[in-house]
Each structure stands twice: as structure tokens, then as C-alpha cells.
Structure 1
Amino acid sequence: MNRRHLLPLALAALLLTSGCAGFFGGGSVSAEQLDEDPPSPYVWSSDVDAHITITEDAQFQAVYALDDSSMELFRRDGFGGRNAIPVSAVRYRYPNGTVISGTELVARGGSVNRSRERVSVTLPDDAPADGGGQLAFTSSSTPKRFSLPTFVNGSYAVVLPPNRRIAVFPFGQASPGGYEVEAEGDRRIVRWESVETDAISVQFYLQRDLLIFGAAAAVLVAVGIGGGFYYKRRIEALRRRREELGLDVETGDDEFGDDPPPGMG
């Protein structure tokens, strides 16, 4: 094959395998995913615009109050781009309280389509024209850290898994600032009255993690002290040995008084 044909073919292959050509990684989310049961019932009757519950198996359940007829779901990568997030157990709640499944949403004229960059959700034809109602879905998270773009502005509540805390920095922290933490049984809820940043994140820990870290730190300190004491004794023993061999005999400044050194008089 002529060399001049290799570069265009290689470029085309790169575009196709990376998904940039748009032919792969798209399409509708399957009916099985749309109609899965959520890990626990969604919290529809909250007083916030976004209610997110993080589960112990590195998943989260989100309920968003909508102010538009569509929503795009994604995560940002480290290069400023976007990647679609996996979604399942999709539900839409009309302003009158009626809840429909993801397949019903599609059957009523809505859509849930996935591309490489985003999952695009369009509300049913009979939803309010200017948005309204609530959209809920389940997706994956990471252990001990939750981070997601702010798909809607307003008030947020993030419910941590049982026995997780964020009180001790740097093991626990949340962004943006200005949040409050309240207790609800064995769980903690991180609340923001108003979020206008591009993303929120919460890093948390199990209470036993602090005990494990404290024990490990104590062992390291003990080893350090013991090692320092051991080397100090070795240095002192070496100094005494050198003195016994006459290697550390110091000469006083007045050993010869005012007379010149021997042989120089």
C-alpha cells in the first residue's frame, strides 16, 4: 500500500476507536436499565432542588427538581471533556405526584439517549412545557468520594452511607464551602442552601478508618523513637571506642604555652 494512504487510514482508525466519529457508543438506554428497581425508594418529598443518596456499594440515587424539559447527565474528565454516566432505574414524577418508569417516559414521547459524552433525557410530551416535576435515576459513584456536576442550581442535600463522616480533615471534606452537616440516625446529611458552582464533591470516611490510621501512626511513631534511641546508643558506643583507641584526643590551645613548637626555637 502506498505510504500516502497510510496516514489517512490511521487517522480514520483513531477517530473511530476513540468515538470521535460519532458512530459508536450512542443509542438509547435499554428498557431493562430504565425500569430497574432503585436500591431503595427515591426521596421525592424533600425540601431541596437536588437530593442525592449515596449507597454502601458505591452507587448513588439522585432526585432533581426540573426547571427545563430536558437534562444532560455526564461527568467531567481531567482534560475538560465530558463522559456519559451510566444510568438506571429512571423515573419521572409529574407535578401532580404521578410517577412513571423510564420506558413509560419514552412511550409518552420522551427519550433517554446515550452518547459518548452524555446521557440526554427529554421529558414526555405531556410534561409541562417549561419543565417541572422531578427526574430520578441511579448511577455509580466511587468508594469514599462523591463528585458530580451541578445539573441544576439551587439547594442540595447529599446523604452519606451509614456511619460515614466528613468531620476530620483531610479524610473528610466537601466542596463548595458554606455547607452544614446534620445527623439522621447513623447517617449524616451534607446540605447547601444554594449551589451555583459547576460541581459538588464530598469526601468521607468510616469512623473505624480513623482508629486504623491512629494505630498505624502510633506504630510508626514508636518505631521512629525506638530507631532513634538505638542509633543514639550505637553512636555513643562508637565514640567511646574511638576515645579508647586514642583517635579523639584533642590538643589544647595552650599545650606549648608561649614557646614555639619543638625544633622551631
Structure 2
Amino acid sequence: MTRRRLLAFGLVVAFVALAGCSSVLGPGSGGGNAAANASYDWETNGTNATINVTGGRYTAVYNVSNESTFPVFQRNELGQNQPLPVSALQFQYPNGTVVTSSESSRLNVTSERERAVINLPARNGQVAFTASAQGKRFGTRTFVEGTYEVTIPKGMRVDYEPLARVSPSGYTADRTADGRVRLTWQNVDSNAVVVRYYLQRDLYLFIAGAAVLVLVAAGGALYYLRQIRELEQQRKEAGPDVDTGSVDDNDGPPGFG
């Protein structure tokens, strides 16, 4: 049975990896240079945070009100805060004028021990940046209060767990004009927004893997049942040899006969 157990374990690992629960087949992370000329959608319709995830990177547009700086950070593997690497900084003034970090010396980033601080050229407006995303998962700390909107890569879905995970709950989902899934939270009160998504093929692979595991488990159960029945038959065959001869064949005790 050792080989059966190894087979079952291997199947579990295989279909979990293929189904996208890990980033083994997920898109790779994009470099910061690729986002040097990022284009941002400033028409956020009052949304406080608008995030667009496209493969190995994402763009983010945040509303800022009466702030001179905008701190951003992420959690490392040890659960500690560290600066979030950002690129392609841009800022939109309330009158619609957009400037980049190369056009305004006041729009820049200073790195501290646990966070990166974006220095803003004005106290009100919208700040935008580009950052890396990992595999089939997106996560960000909540840097502002209010409404959040996250659009995931084309072809990705969030319908079924455990392949998908969306946190916090209480969101609505719709589709953009190009068919991408867009998630909206009206009032985020958690410290982070996390979205894990998958391709439709991942769901098929997950179902196929689960079916294979069921068949392996059923085969193992039948094997054990057959072994039990064989043992029972062996016990019957090895039982005591009972003498069923007639009384006439027995001479009886001495003195009788």
C-alpha cells in the first residue's frame, strides 16, 4: 500500500499546483522598468481606491484629501512591514492637470525602514503608481478609507473556493467592457484587501484531480475489503477438524461392547 499512498500524495500535489492554488503556473512578476510609461484611468467615479491588476503588475489610483504625504507598505514573509516598491508616479490635481515625478520635483518617494513615503505636490487630488503583483494572487494594505475597486486579469475568475479567495467579504462583482471581473467594496474596514483568482481551466483540472483521488480512495477501500474477506476465508479453512462419524464406529469405554 505504500505505492498507493505515494500515488495519492503525488496527485494531490499535482492538481493543487495545476489548479492555481499556488503561483507555480501563475504569471511572473513584471519589472518596474516596464511600467515607466504607465497609463492611468483617472475617471474613478468617486472610488477612493481603483486598482487594475494585469498579470505581473498592477496600477493603483488613490484619492487624497488634505494630505502632504502618502505612505505605502507591504508585509514580508515574517509578517513585518516593509516599503512597497513603486514606479511610474503620477499626480492629478483637482483641475485635471496630471504631472509625473520627472515633471514635478515635489512628487517623489523617500524610503523608510517600514514604509515608502510618497511626497505629494498638493494636498488634494489623486496619486497613482505601479507595483508588482505575484502569480494568481493580489494583495494590498488599505492605505485609504472608503470605496475600493479591484479589476483582475482577463480570463480570471473568483467563483469557487478553494481555488479563489476574496477578503474582505461584502463585495459585489461585475464585468468590465472587455469581460474582466471587477470587484467593488463600498466601505472597506479591514487592514488589507486580498484576491486570489484562477483560470477556468484550473477549475477543470481541480475537478479532474479530485475525481482521480476519489477513484484511488475507492480502489483502496475495495482492496482492503477483499483482503478482509480473504482472511475470513483462511480462518474458516484453518478451523478445527470436527469428527462427524456415527456412534456405531465408537467402541465406547472399556468393559462395554
Bin of the TM-score, shorter chain as denominator length = 0.7 to 0.9
> Given the superposition, is the C-alpha separation of residues 220 and 81 from structure 1 closer, same or farther in structure 2, using an over 3 Å criterion?
closer
Residue equivalent to 2:228: 235
Structure 1 segments, 4+ long, off by >2 Å, are 32-35, 76-81
Residue equivalent to 1:257: none
1:118 alignment partner AA: R
Q: Is the 8 A contact 2:74 2:84 kept in 1?
A: yes
* Whole-Å separation in 1 of the counterparts to 2:103 and 2:35: 9
Q: Is the 8 A contact 1:34 1:103 kept in 2?
A: no
Residue equivalent to 2:61: 63
Percent identity over paired residues: 39
Residue equivalent to 1:121: 118
Judge which range, 166-175 or 210-219, deviates more: 166-175
* Whole-Å separation in 2 of the counterparts to 1:79 and 1:142: 17
Q: Is the 8 A contact 2:101 2:107 kept in 1?
A: no
Residue equivalent to 1:141: 133
Per the alignment, in what secondary structure is the counterpart of residue 207 of structure 2?
A: helix
Give structure 1 stretches of 5+ with no counterpart.
1-31, 251-265
Q: Which of 201, 206, 211 is 1:208 aligned to?
A: 201
* Whole-Å separation in 1 of the counterparts to 2:35 and 2:104: 10
Per the alignment, in what secondary structure is the counterpart of residue 147 of structure 1?
A: strand
* Whole-Å separation in 2 of the counterparts to 1:223 and 1:177: 36
Structure 1 residue 177 displacement after superposition = 2.0
Residue equivalent to 2:90: 91
* Whole-Å separation in 2 of the counterparts to 1:33 and 1:132: 28
C-alpha root-mean-square deviation of aligned residues, in Å?
Answer: 2.3
1:37 alignment partner AA: N
Higher relative contact order (Cα pairs below 8 Å, separated by 6+ residues): 2
Q: Is the 8 A contact 2:92 2:99 kept in 1?
A: yes
* Whole-Å separation in 2 of the counterparts to 1:33 and 1:142: 16
* Whole-Å separation in 1 of the counterparts to 2:35 and 2:192: 28
* Whole-Å separation in 2 of the counterparts to 1:37 and 1:178: 34
Residue equivalent to 1:170: 162
2:144 alignment partner AA: V
> Given the superposition, is the C-alpha separation of residues 103 and 210 from structure 1 closer, same or farther in structure 2, using an over 3 Å criterion?
same
Residue equivalent to 2:100: 101
1:51 aligns with 2:50: yes
* Whole-Å separation in 2 of the counterparts to 1:201 and 1:103: 32
2:142 alignment partner AA: T
**Cα shift readout 1:91-126 (whole Å, capped 9, x = no counterpart):** 1111111111112232xx3432123321111112xx
1:153 aligns with 2:152: no
* Whole-Å separation in 1 of the counterparts to 2:182 and 2:80: 30
* Whole-Å separation in 2 of the counterparts to 1:171 and 1:117: 32
1:216 alignment partner AA: G
* Whole-Å separation in 1 of the counterparts to 2:118 and 2:35: 15
* Whole-Å separation in 1 of the counterparts to 2:128 and 2:42: 9
> Given the superposition, is the C-alpha separation of residues 176 and 35 from structure 1 closer, same or farther in structure 2, using an over 3 Å criterion?
closer
Residue equivalent to 1:260: none
Structure 1 residue 64 displacement after superposition = 0.6
Structure 1 residue 182 displacement after superposition = 0.7
Q: TM-score normalized by structure 1?
A: 0.72
1:111 aligns with 2:108: yes
